[in-house]
Every structure is written in structure tokens, then in C-alpha cells.
Amino acid sequence: MNDLLKSRLEILAQDELTLAAISALINERIEKEKPTIDGDDTTLGQKFRAYESAKEMLRGFFIDIETFKNKKEADKGFSKEQ
């Protein structure tokens, strides 16, 4: 990933309101795709696993974004020794 993209992710990581809005929008889409109880058990199981996988990927995405937030905060340190 290039430095420009990393810089944008660091900015995004600091904006908690924007992250909450993105999360809400994606969660709404995931819920709209929630499997309905119809068809055979195999098909329902596949759909439900895909649904749960989408939710897990979203959680992972926000964990990845948090790493950029921590990195930016760590860079702001001030050392009295210098």
C-alpha cells in the first residue's frame, strides 16, 4: 500500500463519526441480505455462513482501521529527554 493511501487511512481512523456512519451503512446492507428460512438445509447453511462471514469481515476491517489510529497516536509522542 502506498504512503498516500496509508495517510488517508490514518485520517479516517481519527474520524470516529465517519467510521460509525460507514459501519451503520454496511451493517444495514448485511442485514438486508440476511438469509430467509426457505429451501433445503444445505442452501440455508451456505447462505447463513456467508452472512456470518460478511459480519466477521466487517469486524476485521474496523480492527485494521484501528491499527492506523494507534500508529498515528504513537507518532505524536514527545520526549523530554531530547
> What pLDDT is attached to residue 79?
61
Domain boundaries, the chain: 29-68
Residues contacting 66, CB < 8 A, separation 6+: 13
Could you tell me the pTM of the whole model? 0.69
Query: What is the percentage of the chain residues whose pLDDT exceeds 90?
Result: 66
> What pLDDT is attached to residue 80?
66
- Per residue in 29-63, pLDDT (tens digit) is 999 988 888 888 998 899 999 999 999 999 999 99
> What pLDDT is attached to residue 37?
84
Give the residue carrying C-alpha cell 497516536.
73
